[in-house]
Amino acid sequence: MVKLSFTSRRSPVYSRKGIVATSQPLATAAGLEILARGGNAADAAVAAAAALNVTEPTSTGIGGDMFALYYSADTGQVTALNGSGRAPAALTLDRLKNEGLLAEALPPFHAHTVTVPGACAGWCDLIAKHGSLSMADILAPAIRLAEDGFPVAPITAHFWARGAERQLKSALNGHELTIEGRAPRAGELFRNPGLARTFKLVAERGAVGFYQGPIVEAIVGVIKEAGGCMSEEDLAAHTSTWENPISVEYRGLRVYECPPNGQGITALIALNILEGFDLASLDVLSPEKMHLMIEALRLAFADAKWYVADPAFANIPIAELLSKEYASERRKLIDPKRAMPDPQRGAPAASSGTVYLSVVDQWGNACSFINSNYMGFGTGIVPKGWGFTLQNRGHNFSLDPSHPNCLAPRKRPYHTIIPAMVNRPPSSPGRGDRGEGESLYASYGVMGGFMQPQGHVQVLSALHDAALDPQSALDLPRFCIDAEQAGGRVAIEEGMPKETLDALRTMGHPVYEVSGYERALFGRGQVILRDPQTGVLCGGSDPRADGCAMTL
C-alpha cells in the first residue's frame, strides 16, 4: 500500500460569523458585503453568483441555469431549488430531421442547444423563500463591478482567451464580451455596461424584468437570427421548481443532492456502494482506494446516464436506485484487483461549464449554490446590448427516441450541475447543539461537467473517511473518469503518487496524467464545515481556480 500523509500548503479559514467561498475573490467579497449588511446565506449566495457572472463569464451567467440546496438553522431542514430551463415548445425531433441536424447529438454551439435560461428566476425564487434583503441590495455589488470594471484574474483570463477563440469570435454579438475581439489579459480591466443594465432591470422589476420586455425581445431575436426557434412565450412560461432533495446515509451522515433532472443521484449511488468498503483504513491516495472509487463511480454513471431525465416526462425509480439493497447488488460487481471494462446499467425493481459557491451565515443557515452556462461561454451568443451569453445546455439531450432523456418540447435535459449538502442526523453522537432537526455538517460542491459527482464523492471521502480539513480535501489530487464512454479513460491529476498510477494500470485502468491549466478538468470546489459543538466554521477554496474562502 502507498503511504502518504497529505497536508495542504494553504490554511483553511475559520470563523463564527460566516464564510463565503467562491472561485473569484471579488465574488467572495460581494457575498461578504451582503453578510455584513445583515443578509443571510441566501442573500449572500445570490450576490456572489451575480458577481461571478461579471468576473467569470467564462463559466456562468444569467443566461444559464442554477440549482441550490438551502439549510435552515431554525428547522434543521434542507430544501432544493431546481432553476433549470426547458427546451423551446417548437423544438422537436422532426424539426431537427427536416433541418438535417438529427445525428447523435446537436452541434454544441447551435442555437437549438439554448434552453430557457433559468438562473434569474432561480435567484429571485431563492430570495423570495429564504432571503431577507431586496434584489436591489443583493445585486448592487455586481452592478458596481460591471459598471466600474474589474481586473481579470489569471486562470479566468486563460479560459476567456480559449472561449474567445472557440465561441465568441463566431457567435452573434460575442464581441460584447471581448476587448476589440480578444479576451482581456490577466490584470486587465474589463467593464460590462450591458450586464449592469440587465441587473438593474432585475433589481427594479424582479424576474419579470428578465422574462418579459426588452431582454426577452433581444433573446428571442438573436436566437432566431442564429437559426433557433425559442419564442417569447417559452420564456414567459418559465418556472423554477421547489423539490424534495434526495439523500442517502453515508457512515452516519445524511448526504443531500437535488433530484433529477440533475445528476446528483450519481454521487449518492456511488456513496451507497462505497459504504460497504472500509475506506478509512486505506491511505488517502492509495491505488486500492482509487480503484474502489473509480469502479463505484463507473457503476453509478452507467445507471445515471440512462435514468436521469426530466421526471415530468419519465418515470425514474429514485428510491430503488438509492436503496441499500440495490447498492449491495451493484457492489458485488466490483473486483478488488481488476477494472471493469464495460459496466452496464442495472435494472432496479421499480415501483416507480459552471461555478460553484458556498455560504454559511452567522446564524448557521447554509446555501450550496451552482450556476452554469454549460460549455464555458455556452453558445457564445449574446442578446445584443445585454452583456451575457446564452447557455448550450440542450446539448445534453439524447436524440434517441427510446431514451428517457430524449429531446422533447418544453422538457428539461439531463443536467450536470449539482450542489451538495451534508448533515448530522438528530441522533448523531457529539452533536453538541440543540434542536430536533438535523445539524449542518458541510455545505460543499465541485463544479465541472461530468466531474461533479466524482468530485462530490472524492471530496466527501477525504473529509469524512480521511478526516482532512476542507482546504486539504480540495487540494488533494483527483481522478476523472470519462463518463460519456463506457470503460473510458481515467484522467489522473499531477501529484498522484507514481506507485498509484502504476498499480491502477496493472489493474486495467486506462489512466493518463494531466497537468497545468488542463487541471480544470478536475473541477473547482468550495467547502464549508461546521463544528456542531462550538459552531465554528471551517472553509476552503479550490486551488484550481482564482478564488478563496473568506470570513467577516
Residue numbers annotated as active site: 354
Task: Tell me the pairing of strands 439-447 and 420-424.
Answer: antiparallel
H or E element in which residue 452 lies: helix 451-460
The position carrying cell 451552482 is: 370
CA atoms within a 13 Å half-sphere pointing along the CA-CB vector of 143: 14
Give the residue from 298, 352, 305 showing the smallest Cα distance to 330: 298
Specify the DSSP class assigned to residue 391. Answer: P
Task: Tell me the pairing of strands 77-83 and 241-243.
Answer: antiparallel
Q: Angle 490-491-495 (CA atoms, 0-180°, nearest 5)?
A: 130
Counting Cβ atoms within 10 Å, is residue 521 exposed (0-12), middle (13-18) or buried (19+)?
middle
Q: How far apart are CA 156 and CA 56, in angstroms?
A: 6
Give the residue from 546, 511, 67 showing the smallest Cα distance to 294: 511
DSSP per position, 41-77: HHHHHHHHHHHHHHH-TTT--TTSEEEEEEEETTTTE
Q: Three cell numbers at 258?
A: 437535488
DSSP per position, 157-196: HHHHHHHIIIIITTSTTGGGGSBTTBPPPTT-EE--HHHH
- Number of helices (H), then strands (E), belonging to the chain: the values are 17, 19
204: three-class secondary structure by DSSP: helix
Q: How far apart are CA 164 and CA 161, in angstroms?
A: 5
Q: How far apart are CA 81 and CA 67, in angstroms?
A: 6
CB atoms closer than 10 angstroms to residue 118: 29
Q: Let me know: does 538 contact 13? Beta carbons within 8 Å.
A: yes
Give the residue from 59, 61, 113 showing the smallest Cα distance to 353: 59
Please name every residue paired with 447 in a beta bridge, in sequence order, or none if there are none.
524
